[in-house]
Amino acid sequence: MGTAFTIQRSTRTSRVTAIVALLLVAVLFAAPWWAGRANVRLLGEILSFVALASLWNLLAGYAGLASVGQQAYVGFGGYALFALAMFLGVHPLVAIAAAGLVGALVAIPIAPLLFRLQGAYFAIGTWVLAEVFRLSFAQVAALGGGSGTSLPVGIVAGIAADRALREMLLYWSALAIAVAAVAFVVLLLRSRAGLALTAIRDSEIASESLGIDIWRTKLLVYVSVAGLTSMTGAFIFLQKLRISPDAAFSVNDWTAYVIFIAVIGGIGTIEGPVVGTILFFLLRETLADLGTTYLILLGAVAIFVMLRAPKGLWGLVVQHTGITLVPVRRRVVFPKNS
């Protein structure tokens, strides 16, 4: 007779992590009542970077699509929100979700073009795409052209009756986007598509021989990440109330920092982007007053981490402790007496 076994998808640690995560979300939801206005705004920014880093990590760390042009969808989402709110009269909070949908639709015809490129050429292609978006929106006079535009006062006032409630709604939007992005990544990686992604990352040739549809799996990931990144960009520029091509499609703000976060946190892990975001903001709030020296120090930290912990800080923790807070792999468990 064959030996009985079970498939384990969670551990005691992961179940405790899930409970702590729910409690943390509840505490963050109540932040407008226990944190000051400036801290709530900072928390909103932190949550937006958690979303961006988690999505980029899914794209590069699991799908093997190393993009240096994610600012294309951040900026596109911001401009889509402004256009929907100013020209079609869509409520700004509804426009955040609508911008994500439009971003995903735009990504569908773009993906096949980029998928023709491999490795470094794919990365360069994503950057070129972002530049095309930037130059294109700079030509749209109705949205301020190269100098950009601000969201009209009437539209801003339409979000909520007073400023305090408006800032609460914006913050809750950031929390919802971050939770949705992380939850999407976890659920996708725990699904059959997640198994396919892991196989594709390890070996495309072997994956194809096993019957995995590589092109369709990558398309699913790319379009989904584009949509959620566009939603995050829409929130970012709704919070800023102003947009311009240079700010919207800044490779430094929306891609370089995100890659830094993923690298120091741990590419190819769920926990890495969260750890990296916390460290990034600790460094920023501590060292930002140093001017250009701050950027030099960020580079030094990234180089040090890559040399001493190639798998990132969370990868180092896993290597020494074996702890995984959010497992996505299936484990075969045999009875102890077998």
**Residue 161 sits in a domain of what CATH number?**
1.10.3470
- Angstrom distance (rounded) from CA 215 to CA 151: 39
Evaluate whether residue 337 is within a structural domain.
Answer: no
Percent of the chain with pLDDT over 70: 94
pLDDT in tens, 194-206: 888 888 877 778 8
- Please give the residue range of the domain that contains residue 253: 9-326
pLDDT of res. 57: 95
Asked if residue 334 belongs to a domain, the reply is no
> What pTM value is reported for the model?
0.94
161-177 mean pLDDT:
94
Residue 257 located in a structural domain: yes
Asked if residue 1 is part of any domain, the answer here is: no
Tell whether the model's pLDDT for residue 286 goes beyond 80.
yes
Distance CA 106, CA 98 (A): 12
Q: What does the DSSP 8-state code read for residue 162? A: S
List the beta strands (DSSP E) in the chain. 6-8, 149-150, 242-243, 331-333
Q: What pLDDT, on a 0 to 100 scale, did the predictor assign at position 8?
A: 67
Q: How confident is the model at residue 1 (pLDDT cuts 50, 70, 90)?
A: very low
The average pLDDT across 234-239 equals 96
Q: Is residue 25 part of a domain?
A: yes
For residue 8, the cross-strand partners are: 331
Average pLDDT, the chain: 91
Closest CA to 56 of 256, 213, 217: 256
Contact 62, 262 (CB under 8 A): no
110 inside domain = yes
Number of domains in the chain: 1
Asked whether residue 5 carries a pLDDT value surpassing 80, the answer given is no
What pLDDT, in 10s, does the model give residues 320-333? Answer: 888 888 887 766 66
